[in-house]
Amino acid sequence: MSIIIEKPKSRIDDQELRENLKTFIKDKNLNKILLLPPDMTRLHSYAGRITALLFELLNDRCDIDIMPALGTHDPMTKEECEAFFGPLVPYDNIIPHRWKTDITKIGTVPASYVKEMSEGLLDEPIDIEINKKLLDPDYDLILSIGQVIPHEVVGMANYSKNIFVGCGGQTAINKSHFLGAVYGLEKLMGKDHSPVRKIFDYAEEHFIQKIPLQYILTVTTVNQEDVNLEGLYIGRDRQLFEKAVSLSQQRNFNLLDKSPEKVVVYLDEREFKSTWLGNKSIYRTRMAIRDGGDLIILAPGVRKFGEDLEIDQLLRKYGYVGRDKILQLYYENEDLQANPSAAAHLIHGSSDSRFRITYAVRHLSRDEIEKAGYLYADLDETLQRYNPRTLKQGYNRMPDGEEIYYISNPAVGLWASRDRIIED
């Protein structure tokens, strides 16, 4: 069965959510299930609450494993799990996804298909690997839980991306990220049928149809810290994802009539501890900022570049120096060729000299920030001018007359001036 609930500009309350989850699972004969929620970087996805409700509803009926779809991110700490899932979900039930070791190959997307879908940008096969847990026959049901929202690699996050990237291995992660970067963020962000999504659709259709997998997809909006669940989609059919994409395009896109000269973005330190994650502030605003303008990133929790040590070293070594330079470095250096997702991230995190990017930090030095290709600012000094507690979402006029556009969390949407939107 499938469940679709949409309440745009309203909300699905906790009782309605609980009742629909009960309806979905009530007739299922379950002995053991696997839940695949996101991690703390999707704090506003409602997936933590859904995971907690499922645990509450099923704990007396079956064994429950929970494996956050980390991709390349750090495993969740006990404190993060409690903050995200709540105190009733035992930490002992949490299994880390290790993207380099705990995976197995399930198939290969042919080079001919990759070439056709990528418009000739990539002409090589892509091996698809997923965590071995997903192939365990002891699981009666696998529930992939996550938020549909604009994304810099695949166009719109979630659905099968949660499997092939969130629970995937190096090859698909690397090549999908590289393909998205080469194809161009402006051409794919906020779109469904991107080249990367078409690769994942192929893998979904050909390699995992026999897995007892169902998706729980959400569309949310955020007002300050108040998260509204506006869309809930449960089932396996791709049409559920398409409906979620449509609602997210209505509710998570912020179209501006003009391009702000200065955008200030705040990164919640609970979510953003690296530029690998924090650069959502760049991806999600690059289609809004005026040429020659400024992006100021308030980053109290950022203390490193990559989530993974090897990637961190590559990001520090090469820096965010723009698409053309990174591609040149990629083809000249074996260490980047061995880690295409790092090269892709360096492309994503650059403005290509179109606007200036300043990281205001307290855990990284000026030297570290500037070597990575950004401008440096002291966080405490910058917060004195741009105080998140007093700024309102959107346009603000500062006491000296400066106009800024403030974003309290870049992970909850996409911002673009109307003249920069590339139509399908």
Question: 365: domain range?
Answer: 254-420
Q: What is the pLDDT of residue 398?
A: 96
**Same domain? 207 vs 59:** yes
Q: What is the pLDDT of residue 423?
A: 54
**Same domain? 196 vs 132:** yes
Which residue, 397, 393, 388, is CA-closest to 407? 393
**Same domain? 218 vs 291:** no
Find the Cα–Cα–Cα–Cα dihedral 312, 318, 324, 327, rounded to 10°.
-70
**Same domain? 294 vs 365:** yes
All residues at 6 or more sequence positions from 210 whose CB lies less than 8 Å from its CB, including other chains: none
Mean pLDDT per 10-residue interval, the chain, length 424 residues: 94 96 93 95 90 96 96 90 94 94 96 94 94 97 96 94 95 91 89 95 97 98 87 97 97 94 96 94 95 98 93 96 94 94 94 96 98 98 96 96 96 88 57
Query: Residue 117 corresponds to which amino acid?
Result: M
| CATH assignment at residue 154 | 3.40.50.11440
**Same domain? 207 vs 277:** no
Q: What is the pLDDT of residue 74?
A: 84
- Between CA 181 and CA 171 the distance in angstroms is 15
* pTM of the shown model: 0.91
Q: What is the pLDDT of residue 86?
A: 94
Run of H or E including 416:
strand 414-417
**Same domain? 92 vs 225:** yes
**Same domain? 42 vs 132:** yes
CA 209 to chain centre: 24
Run of H or E including 171:
helix 170-183
All residues at 6 or more sequence positions from 241 whose CB lies less than 8 Å from its CB, including other chains: 148, 158, 159, 192, 215, 217, 233
Report residue 77 as tokens. Answer: 């700490």
Q: What is the pLDDT of residue 41?
A: 80
Largest Cα–Cα distance of the chain, in whole Å?
A: 65
Q: What is the pLDDT of residue 420?
A: 74
Q: What is the DSSP letter of 41?
A: G
| CATH assignment at residue 339 | 3.90.226.30
Last residue of a domain, one of 195, 220, 251: 251
Last residue of a domain, one of 213, 230, 251: 251
| Total residue count of the chain as it appears in this document | 424
Looking at the structure of the chain, the number of domains it has is 2
